[in-house]
Structure 1
Amino acid sequence: MFRGHSNSEWLLVPTAGREPFSDSDDERMFRAWQRRSVEFLSPRPSNEWEWLSIAQHHGLATRLLDWTYQPLVATFFAVSTYHEGDAHLYCLRADKIYEQTDASPFKAKTLAKYKPHTVASRIVRQGGLFTIHPEPSIPLTEAKSTKDTLELIVIEAKFREQLPFELSHYGINHSSIFPDLDGLSEHINWYSANKDYWVTPEDSSDGI
């Protein structure tokens, strides 16, 4: 499983473990979200793992950390937003897996991976899955067990500008990763802003 960081200083910590959320009770905040979200969800999730996955997907600060089975998707997230300096691509082989039949995610005792059922089209398109972090503020580099394997690939700053174009040639761009009007609009805007890359006087083809 893979995760891209556009800023090399970012830690492998879920949002609930980062400021300003790290001082809050993330379970209590999730329960409040769960109570108020029912009017927007039909059908409703069948268990707490699915509830938490949807909350994470829609931006709630949770103890889940996003990963993908697709290394090119992770690379896209590492370089699609520009930051000066290197980008990081993490590769994790997690030893423990939590199943949806397991107890509440808030009773998990060890860091592990969790692969959700189809709860959102974006998760499917992105080959998405998560790690669950019982202590959200502790970085994965410290929380992982000796049976977990974590590797880091450094994407040097000089390659960052070119990589989004190369990824788009392989069908990895905003439009494919975010299968909705927002993703399509972002991709067309990106194409328009970089049209000189796609079109030359000798070639009338483009990258749309």
Structure 2
Amino acid sequence: MSTPFIIESFEEYLKTVREELPKTRIYFRGQSQLVSAKYALKPSIGRSKNLLTKSPFEREEIERNVLGVFANHILSYVRHLPRNDWEALAIAQHHGLPTRFMDWSTNPLVALYFATRRTKKAEDGKALDSAVYVLTSDPIRLSDLTRTKAEIIKPVSDLATEPAKPVKPTKQALSYEEFGLDDDDGGPAQLPPGFSLDLSGVDLSGMEDGDSKPRKPKTIEEAKVPSPFGISENVIYDPPHVSPRIRAQDGVLMACHQPMNELDEKDYLEIIIKHEAHDDIRRRLDQYGVFDKQLFPDLDGIAKWLKYRVFEIDGKC
């Protein structure tokens, strides 16, 4: 991790994002506590003390079993049924189950909200600074991995345009009857001598009924993409909008292939938000429409927003 940026105002944060960060695709994560304050950048399952003494094999087995039990109960509670472990794990993450996913956002203001919405205090009562972390390692995205793993299917030759095998000239031109096209009995067409429709060398496994084009893999499983438990590197997953919150927060998930380990310092930048600026930043975010009601488009969000407006800043609803 390089020298962190120190932010003391809302405008300074916007300027830093605009002028100091890489001009590539960026993911942001807001935390109310700094990494240096012992709140490491790791997924929620990595914070489970009960798993520290387990072997990697035992931890993965526990993860799979827990997800299996959770998935068995999904049917009665959600409208969107998960099609694979990635979607099931995303729903579990959304509802608070510890997983190997880490929440990130493509929106820097959303990350600022999570960094400043609640000002944490130390044991002595002193207010703590917070931070926005910027991912710089650019992990592969699951959508890219799907395209990479998709099988290349050999196209089937168009028999209508294939050159015919040479035949010996005959005294009489070939007629429709010789091809069996005018047979009234509906029997199989007969090819004249010299013609062949031998398809033994043609791979038809990738064809759909009635289709002249190769069939492309339709699902993650067909494209042979590993499950979130079988990845060998961190993977960015843009989940389907199983919840309005994911859409509202421009959320993405990072699947960690070593969920018990914290993110390496070389993989992120730190933007420290001074606690003295939290109050003003909260007000400015509320003015810009990046607050409870917008980021949590449900009754919980409305209640949190009213609590802030009326009982925290003595404002108007």
The question of a shared fold, defined as TM-score above 0.5 by the shorter chain, is answered with yes
Give the match's secondary structure for 2:99: coil
Specify the code of the residue in structure 1 equivalent to 2:140. K
Render the CA deviation track for 1:105-161: whole Å, top value 9, x for unaligned: 11111112111122111000000001111111101126xxx7xx5211010121122
Which of 83, 92, 115 is equivalent to 1:55? 92
Residues 52 and 62, structure 1, Cα contact 8 Å, conserved in 2 = yes
Name the structure 1 match of 2:128: 85
Name which structure has the greater RCO, CA cutoff 8 Å, separation 6+: 2
Which of the pair is proportionally richer in strand? 1
Aligned residue pairs, count = 194
| Structure 2 counterpart of 1:5 | 31
The one-letter amino acid paired with 1:3 is R
Which residue in 1 is equivalent to 2:70?
33
The more displaced of 79-88 and 20-29 is 20-29
Paired with 2:80 and 2:255, the residues of 1 have a C-alpha distance of 24
Q: Could you list the runs of 4 or more consecutive aligned residues of structure 1 that deviate by over 4 angstroms after TM superposition?
A: none
Q: Please name the residue that 1:201 is paired with.
A: none
Q: Which runs of 5+ in 1 are unaligned?
A: 199-205
- Structure 2-normalised TM-score? 0.58
Counterpart contact for 1:125–1:176, Cα < 8 Å: yes
Question: What letter corresponds to residue 299 of structure 2 in structure 1?
Answer: L
Give the structure 2 partner of residue 172 of structure 1: 290
Between the aligned partners of 1:87 and 1:116, the Cα distance in structure 2 is 27
Is 1:98 the counterpart of 2:221 in the alignment?
no
Aligned counterparts of 1:63 and 1:47: Cα–Cα separation in 2: 15
TM-score (norm 1): 0.86
Of 68, 75, 85, the residue aligned with 2:105 is: 68
- Comparing 12-21 with 170-179, greater Cα deviation is found at 12-21
Q: Distance in 2 between matches of 1:158 and 1:189?
A: 21
Distance 1:33 1:21 in 2: 19
Letter in 2 for 1:70: N
**Structure 1 residue 43: deviation in Å?**
3.8
CA contact (8 A) 2:135 2:269 kept: yes
**1:95: Cα distance to partner?**
3.2
Greater radius of gyration (CA): 2
1:187-198 aligned within 5 A: 187-196=305-314, 198=315
* Alignment-derived partner of residue 120 in structure 1: 243
Tell me the percent identity: 30
Aligned-residue CA RMSD in angstroms?
A: 1.8
Among residues 24, 39, 44, which one is paired with 1:15 in the alignment? 44
CA distance in 2, matches of 1:195, 1:131: 35
Which amino acid in the other structure matches residue 14 of structure 1? P
Query: Which amino acid in structure 2 is aligned with residue 39 of structure 1?
Result: S
- Distance apart, 1:21 and its partner CA: 5.2
In structure 2, C-alpha distance between the alignment counterparts of 1:21 and 1:115, rounded to whole Å:
29
